[in-house]
Structures are given as C-alpha cells and as structure tokens.
Structure 1
Amino acid sequence: MLGEAYPQVRNPLMRGNEHIAAEEKLKEDDLWPTSKGDQKRLTLTQAYLNRLNSASLARVALQDCQPMARALFGPELENAIETLGRQFHIIRIYVEANADEEVDKDQDFKRQIRETLYEGVPSEDRNTMDATIAAQVVRIEDICLPQLRAAGRKRRDAGPSV
C-alpha cells in the first residue's frame, strides 16, 4: 500500500478525471476563482490535495507502526519510518505553496516545488525527494528483511503446526 502511495501522489501525469474531481471540489466549497490562470493553478493544487487525501490510509498505517517498529527492531527503523512519513507532509507543504501566485515570480522556488511534487524531475538521480524516499525504503528493508526471512525459515524448519 505505501509503496504505491508516493508514486501515485507524485506522478506528474494528471488524468482528466482528477482535474474534473478537483474542479468539482473547488466549486462545491465555493472556492472556484474567476480568472483562468487562478482556475488552472487552484485546480492543480486541489488535484494534488485529493491525491494526498486518498493516500491517507497509507500515512496513518505508517504512523501506527512506529511504536511497534521501535519495540521489535529498534530506533533506527522507527527513525526511517518517521523520515519516510515526513515526506508526505513536505509534499503537502509544497502543494499548498504552489497555489500561491507569487511562486511564479521565483523560478528557483518553482523548480524546487516541481522537483518535490514530481517523481523523477529533473531526473531520478538529481531529485532529492526521490533519493530520500528510496534511502528510507532501503533502510527499512535492510533492517526488516533479514529478520523476517530468518523467522520464516525457523517456522518452516519447525514443521507443520497442528
């Protein structure tokens, strides 16, 4: 579930149904702007907020497992999970910042927003959000997988349980 959440939220391709849902949400909340530029910017912002909201189960599941992760595997795993979860919040901050029309005046900040929101932009090796997410996934796997595999071997070696 979590493995799909970040790429889903950070996919630079925005489907038509996402635009429509975002526009409907803005109109429903009586936030639909009159200018075309504001409509485009706020629709994109709302579409990203919708994506973040749809990933809320993954965020909650990630937060909920932190105490158990620390108890079973130690503080390093808890820290990796916390860092990974923090990326959702960082993405939300940049989504909301992107809604501000003043952002267009600062091209460096605009580039930073794009690199945070879009997976693989400008390239996979230069995107710091991609690197942070990947590093935490590797940390989590390095900590958990050896112990989970060992536990599976022990269970298999013990024979059938009746």
Structure 2
Amino acid sequence: MSLSIDKALNPLVYDAVVVLFVLAVVALFVVGLFLRLYLTPRADDRRRQDFFTSACNVNLTPETTVGYYNNELTKPIDRIAAQLFENSFFSKNIALSMVKFERAKVAVYAILWLVAVLNRSTDLGWIAAAAQAVFSEQILSKWFRLEWLRMRFERTFDDM
C-alpha cells in the first residue's frame, strides 16, 4: 500500500501507512512466535496425553476425547500400535489434501512475481514487495514445511 502513495504529495498519509505496515509485521512476528513456542507445544503435549490415556486406559488429562480412537483392542501395546496406524493414515490424507491448496497458492504467487520481474516497466519497489510476499514465512516456507510433513506422514504410514 505504501508503494502506491506519493511521499512528496501526501507525507502524513505515507508515514501513517508505513507505521501501520511496520506494526503489522511486528504483530505477525509476535503471533507467529506465540503460536510456535507456546500454543503448538501445549497442543502437542495434550495430544500425547490423550493418546496414552486412550491406549493405557489411564486418565492423564481432565478431558478425554470420545470416539476418536475406535479400536477394540485391550492390551496397551496393541492399542498403541492400532492408534499409531490410525493417526498416520489420517495425518497422511489430511496433509495431502492441505498441500494441494498450498501448491496452487504458491504457483499463483510465483507466476505473479515472475510476471512482475520480467515486465521491464514494473517499479522495483513493487518487485521487492512481491518478493517479500512470495519468500515470506507464510507462502514458500509454509509450503516447504507442509511438503516435508506430508512426506514424513507417508513414510510413517508406509512403515506401519
């Protein structure tokens, strides 16, 4: 947005937009760290507790899922194996469906960026902004991480 505002004609609007942009970037950074360093590990811990609660029939959490694990096995080691197989199957399929959307999104962004780069009349500021969008944590890196996760899920499922 700041690229489309002439700093010489509207210095106050330009400054306000730049400040809002910087605040948005910092806010996204803080939210990303909060998610990765606080919420995600807590969710992972709760999933593991629920997994072993179901497998060993021991209450490790105050809330247990109902109907999530649906095998009828009684020995804990057998239940763990069945639950792991079930988790790997669904994780593999969910990741595969998610990665299809990410592939399409990355392709659209990459094509738009290449068009901007190859068009000689495109302002360098727009090319830099587009590069920042394409190579940001939310587009290319997110796609790479999802592909990596999908491959790990597939390998785990195949090993099972």
TM tier, shorter chain?
0.3 to 0.5
Larger Rg: 2
Compare relative contact order (CA 8 Å, sep 6+) and give the higher one, 1 or 2: 1
